[in-house]
């Protein structure tokens, strides 16, 4: 028990260091980019009207305060952490006066729903197909499947998304082109909303799944190829165990690397699927992040990036803690 406690504490301190360094980098990088959020906001406000210079100066001071750009870099950094620890990421200037937390709270469920489902389904599908293809490697269908995956795997997922849009939104208009649900339909646990949600999310999820399944399939096939010639598989076949039982042994003994991959993929959900969400105008974190970058919305960019860092770091922390339970060869020391 003492070893377990020491292990968890050490991993937690590593998590704190990673999060601290990551958030510090996020604070610094935007301040050294050529984007000027204050000037961008002023241009948007004063584009078609005359404003008194004194009013503009007051506006600049207000914007500096809203963006956390008052004072020296060190003063800005201290104030940034004070607000962050209170859960205050400031207002979104592109969606003013809505706060960054409200914007993230609105878009995060869409991204989690899309990426969690597509990630888990692609993970399960890739593992099953990879295991079957390697165990029955001498079958014709296995060779065809392997060739098909090798052809599709190098294709970027946003190209797959564009192909799906052309095929099933333009040529054969089965699925809607944009949005996360029908316009005017309020989120609720009703059949209408769930059906609309599935219909709008099917093509984005499918484009992500096709890209992910290829990598998982190839990695699982490689892991299975090492196990097929193992003594325990040879013994199982000699003992005439059912094929289903042998396949379950193969999957269980190749799961550890795949669990690592799944945990990190789930952790990256908080950053969104940028290009896929853009192609389908899906109202998730990726789409919001793209809009924030175009409009130099520092607060929103930093808020989404912070969620992404915390998500990936927390996934890695959880994996470090539970890994010894999954692998009997590892012990807490």
50 or 219: whose pLDDT is higher?
Answer: 219
Q: What are phi and psi of 150, to 5 degrees?
A: -65, -30
CATH number listed for the domain at residues 100-326 = 1.10.3720.10
The b/e string for 201-237 (b: 16+ C-beta within 10 A; e otherwise) is bebbbbbbbbbbbbebbbbbbebbeebeeeeebeebe
Orientation of helix 298-326 relative to helix 53-67, angle to 10°: 10
Q: What is the pLDDT of residues 283-324, one digit of tens each?
A: 778 778 888 877 777 788 888 888 888 887 887 787 777 776
Task: Determine the Cα–Cα distance for residues 24 and 189; give it in Å rounded to an integer.
Answer: 40
Residue 180: left (phi > 0), alpha (psi -120 to 50), or beta?
Answer: alpha
Domain residue ranges in the chain? 100-326
Which value, to the nearest 10 degrees, does the dihedral of the CA atoms of residues 159, 160, 165, 171 take? 100
CB 263 within 8 A of CB 318: yes
**Residues in a beta bridge with 99:** 91
pLDDT of residue 294: 77
Q: Which of 85-89, 157-161, 328-332 has the lowest mean pLDDT?
A: 328-332
What's the mean per-residue pLDDT of the chain? 76
Q: Which residue is listed with tokens 């992910």?
A: 212
Q: Which of 26-35, 47-56, 250-259 has the lowest mean pLDDT?
A: 47-56
Task: Determine the Cα–Cα distance for residues 131 and 304; give it in Å rounded to an integer.
Answer: 37
Q: What is the pLDDT of residues 143-183, one digit of tens each?
A: 888 888 888 877 777 787 788 888 887 788 777 777 766 66
Task: Determine the Cα–Cα distance for residues 261 and 268; give it in Å rounded to an integer.
Answer: 11
pLDDT over 90 for what percent of the chain?
A: 0
Q: What are phi and psi of 230, to 5 degrees?
A: -70, 160
pLDDT of residue 329: 58
**191 pLDDT band (50/70/90 cuts)?**
confident
The answer on pLDDT for 55 being more than 80 is: no
The answer on pLDDT for 271 being more than 60 is: no
The average pLDDT across 116-121 equals: 82
**Tokens found for residue 43:** 């241009």
Rg of the chain's alpha carbons, rounded to an integer? Answer: 25
Q: What is the pLDDT of residues 71-82, one digit of tens each?
A: 777 888 888 888
Q: How many CA atoms lie within 13 A of 73 on its CB side?
A: 8
Task: Determine the Cα–Cα distance for residues 172 and 300; give it in Å rounded to an integer.
Answer: 37
In 3D space, the residue among 170, 163, 168, 171 whose CA is nearest the CA of residue 210 turns out to be 163
Q: Tell me the torsion sign for CA atoms 256, 258, 261, 263.
A: negative
């Amino acid at each position: 028990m003492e070893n377990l406690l020491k292990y968890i504490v050490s991993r937690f301190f590593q998590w704190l260091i990673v999060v601290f360094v990551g958030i510090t980098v996020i604070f610094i990088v935007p301040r050294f980019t050529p984007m000027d959020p204050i000037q961008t906001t002023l241009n948007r406000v004063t584009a078609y009207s005359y404003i008194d210079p004194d009013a503009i100066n007051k506006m600049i001071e207000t914007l500096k305060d809203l963006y956390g750009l008052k004072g020296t870099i060190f003063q800005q950094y201290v104030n940034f952490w004070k607000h962050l620890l209170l859960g205050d990421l400031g207002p979104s200037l592109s969606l003013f006066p809505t706060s960054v937390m409200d914007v993230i709270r609105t878009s995060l469920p869409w991204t989690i729903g899309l990426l969690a489902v597509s990630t888990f389904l692609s993970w399960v599908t890739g593992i099953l197909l990879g295991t079957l293809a390697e165990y029955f490697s001498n079958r014709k269908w296995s060779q065809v499947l392997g060739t098909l995956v090798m052809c599709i795997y190098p294709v970027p997922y946003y190209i797959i998304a564009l192909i799906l849009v052309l095929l099933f939104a333009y040529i054969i208009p089965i699925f809607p082109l944009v949005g996360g649900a029908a316009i005017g339909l309020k989120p609720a646990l009703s059949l209408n909303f769930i059906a609309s949600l599935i219909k709008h999310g099917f093509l984005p999820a499918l484009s992500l799944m096709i890209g992910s399944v290829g990598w998982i399939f190839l990695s699982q096939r490689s892991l299975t190829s090492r196990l097929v010639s193992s003594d325990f598989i040879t013994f199982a076949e000699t003992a005439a165990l059912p094929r289903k039982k042998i396949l379950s042994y193969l999957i269980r003994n190749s799961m550890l690397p795949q669990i690592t991959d799944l945990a990190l993929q789930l952790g990256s959900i908080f950053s969104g699927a940028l290009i896929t969400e853009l192609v389908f105008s899906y109202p998730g974190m990726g789409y919001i992040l793209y809009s924030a970058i175009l409009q130099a919305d520092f607060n929103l960019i930093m808020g989404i990036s912070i969620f992404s860092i915390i998500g990936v770091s927390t996934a890695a922390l959880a994996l470090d803690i539970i890994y010894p339970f999954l692998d009997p060869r590892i012990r807490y020391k």
